[in-house]
Structure 1
Amino acid sequence: MKALVLAGGSGVRLRPFTHSTPKQLIPLANKPVLEHVITHVRELGVTEICLLTGDWADAISAAMGDGSRFGVNLTYLRQDRPLGLAHAVQTARPFLGDDDFLMYLGDNILADADGTVAGIVGEFRERRPAAGLVVQKVADPRAYGVAEVDTSGSVLQLVEKPTQPRTDLAVVGLYYFTAAIHGATDAITPSARGELEITDAVQWLISRGDEVVARQYSGFWQDVGRADDVLQCNRWLLGELRTDVRGEIDPASELRGQVVIEPGARVVRSCIEGPVIIGTGTLVEDSRVGPGTSIGRDCVVRSTHLSDSVVLQGAHICTPRGLRNSLVGRFATIGLGEEGDPSYRLVIGDHARIQMTVL
């Protein structure tokens, strides 16, 4: 079995952050989103993976390489325009051939700590339905593909973003397909928004009488489409870390809870309350770093208080009132200005400079 990981999204809802960083490479617990996805795919038993990219193809291939450091083989293909998930399957046909495959949305995080997803995928691989869907109950299913499922788990109907959903079962960003899906993607026509919808392709299989099954997953699942989503995923993944201190901690500092201090990082006269990860080469001095915070490599955090935030490589932060619920881009500088109030929430991109002063 192979895997198709879709990594072509532009991240419009995360701008201006994604003007300089593709959302698939935003670090969560100091690892890019795609690294979490590829690691999960490998844990599901698949090592032949195609990354389907878009405008960020060069940045993604530079970051992920050939996959050997993750224990997989990566192949890269490019989807020139975002014409839908079914079109993505068509684009990847040279890689997929007639093999069974998983399709995984590359901006989704599934924290499969208890192996539920692995069990579902294992069942799909043994049973080999034309399509297998992972679904989850959601409060408002109107933003998702929505499945109507009978008591045996057979999918009766699948509708994309219905205005009046018939169920609360949303399709999670992980699909199983046999080669039957290729006939379906060739048979459907673009939707009203001009895309070849994977939901239409799956519905085509259902209408033809092919077996389409769904299994329910109740664990953590979130895409990284918005700033709040990034912070939520980061919090969850940090909570899965085990304490690992390999950097330098001076006697005046205190660590509490789950804390990862990477090699070469230094903590000076500071309090770190986990779950927190501090990257290689970073200095934290005279500061408090609170739960839900990941700080990338080669940063300087001085005389401030950070909590529930994601700070990328090379950022410099020095503001007495601190930051919370914030995203700070690579090599951004947040410091003191001559006047004005401090900010409590920031989403700033690479190389930005923010100055704040307490009146």
Structure 2
Amino acid sequence: MKALVLSGGSGTRLRPFSHSMPKQLVPVANRPILGHVIDSIRELGVTSVAVVVGDRSEEIRAALGDGSSHGVDITYIRQEAPLGLAHCVRIARRFLGDDDFVMYLGDNLLSGGLTEIADRFRADRGDAHLAVRKVDDPHRFGVAEVDSEGRVLRLVEKPEHPVSDLAVVGVYFLTAAVHEAVDAITPSGRGELEITDAIQWLVDRGGDVRASVYQGFWRDTGQVSDVLDCNRELLAGLTPRILGAVDPDSRITGPVVVGESARVTRSRLSGPVVIGAGATVSDSVVGPYTSVGDGCVLDRAGVEDSIVLEGSAVRGVRGVHGSVIGRRASVTEASGTDRRILFIGDDSKVEIHG
């Protein structure tokens, strides 16, 4: 089996962060979302991976390299315009050949449970196998109608009147049968070649398309709140380790990672917390559920349930909660103890006065 990872989207809902970095590279638990995606694929036993990239291709190449650090071999395929998921399959035809493959959306984060679905796909040898999940608002997703034996009867993309509450998760297990379907369909009203239309084409012609309910954690990281949810989920499984320096006047409770060359002085870290390499934390209270990136400075700060990206500084600001602070941003000068929620893009400077 091969893998096709789609990483060309612009991520308008993640602005201001997606202005200065691809949305797939936003860090969660101090690692890019796309890095977690590649690790999930490797856990399926897949090592041959193609990554479809768009205008931000150089940044994604710089982050993933040739894939060797993840134990995979990565090929990059350029999509000149966002023409749909099925279009990605079409332009990857040479790479995919006649092999089975898993198509994985590069801005989706899943933890646990995919191996079982992959094994069912390999055992059933149907034309396609979809991971689905019950959702409260199916209007936002591709939705599957499934019979009692798990066979897909109908697929609709973002339906006005949903046929079920089973959303198609951003992971598709496909055989070479999908290539004929992709060549047969035409663009939707959105001007895109929809993968749901291609799979429906298979269903309409008697293809064996099945679905399994995915039971693990899943988020489409399209919004800041989703990114924070992912951060909490991954930090919950944190393995503690102290590689930097923590002075005797500091207190650590719960699972905490302190990266190489990081320094923690006169501070309280309440895990789960990750402090990145080379970061400095002094006279501060951090956590729980907080990721502090490499090279950050927290001085007289109070930060919880937040993500502070690399190179940023928070000085004299308490009560930061449920926030994402972009790379190299500076947040200073606050008084009072009220909670503050901040979505601050890269290279910003913010002064807060009580």
TM bucket, shorter chain: over 0.9
Change (3 A) 1:340 1:21: farther
| 8 Å Cα contact 2:3-2:101 kept in structure 1 | yes
Matched position secondary structure for 2:148: coil
**What letter matches 1:292 in structure 2?**
Y
Match of 1:355 in 2: 351
What is the TM-score with the length of structure 1 in the denominator?
0.96
The whole-number CA distance in structure 1 between the counterparts of 2:94 and 2:56 is 21
2:274 corresponds, among 267, 274, 277, to: 277
Cα distance, 1:240 vs structure 2: 1.1
Counterpart of 2:149?
Answer: 152
* CA distance in 2: counterparts of 1:103 and 1:75, whole angstroms: 14
For residue 261 of structure 1, what is the aligned residue in structure 2?
A: 258
SS at match of 1:277: strand
1:217, 1:34 → 2: CA distance? 20
Displacement of 1:163: 1.4
Match for residue 36 of structure 1? 36
1:143-202 deviation digits (Å, cap 9, x = unpaired): 111111111111111111111112111100000111110110110111111111100000
C-alpha displacement at 1:234, in angstroms?
Answer: 0.5
Give the TM-score taking structure 2 as reference length: 0.97
Provide the C-alpha distance between the structure 2 equivalents of 1:192 and 1:319, rounded to a whole number of angstroms: 51
User: In the TM superposition, what is the alpha-carbon distance from 1:343 to its structure 2 partner?
Assistant: 7.5
Q: Determine the structure 2 residue equivalent to 1:78.
A: 78
CA contact (8 A) 1:4 1:103 kept: yes
Amino acid aligned to 2:318: R
Runs of 4+ in 1 over 3 A off after TM superposition: 339-343
Superposed CA deviations along residues 81-125 of structure 1, whole A, max 9, x for unmatched, are 11111111111112111111000000001011xxx2101101102
Q: Deviation string for 1:6-46 (max 9, x for gaps)?
A: 00111101111111111111111111101100000000110
The aligned amino acid for 1:270 is: S
Task: Give the partner amino acid of 1:95.
Answer: F
Partner SS state of residue 260, structure 1: strand
1:182 counterpart SS class: helix
The AA in structure 2 aligned to 1:32 is P
Q: RMSD in angstroms over aligned alpha carbons?
A: 1.4
> Given residue 86 of structure 2, which amino acid in structure 1 is its aligned partner?
A
Residues 233-258 of structure 1, C-alpha deviations (whole Å, 9 max, x = no match):
00100001111112111111111111
Give the one of 290, 304, 311 matched to 2:308.
311
Give 1:127's aligned residue.
Answer: 124
Whether the aligned pair in 2 keeps the contact of 1:191 and 1:197 (CA below 8 Å) is yes
Checking the alignment, whether the CA contact within 8 Å between 1:341 and 1:357 is kept in structure 2 is no
Residue aligned with 1:39, SS:
helix
- Correspondence for 2:249: 252
Structure 1 Cα separation of the partners of residues 162 and 205 of structure 2 = 23
Conservation of the 8 A alpha-carbon contact between 2:317 and 2:332: no
Give the % identical residues: 55
Instruction: Report if aligned partners of 1:283, 1:301 keep a CA contact under 8 Å in 2.
Output: yes
SS of the counterpart of 2:212? strand
2:90 is paired with a residue of what secondary structure? helix
| Contact persistence 1:49–1:74 (CA under 8 A) | yes
Question: How do residues 108-123 of structure 1 correspond to structure 2 at under 5 angstroms?
Answer: 108-112=108-112, 116-123=113-120
**Residues 333-357 of structure 1, C-alpha deviation per residue, up to 9 Å, x if partnerless?**
11127x9998711111111101122
Residue 348 of structure 2 aligns with an amino acid whose one-letter code is A
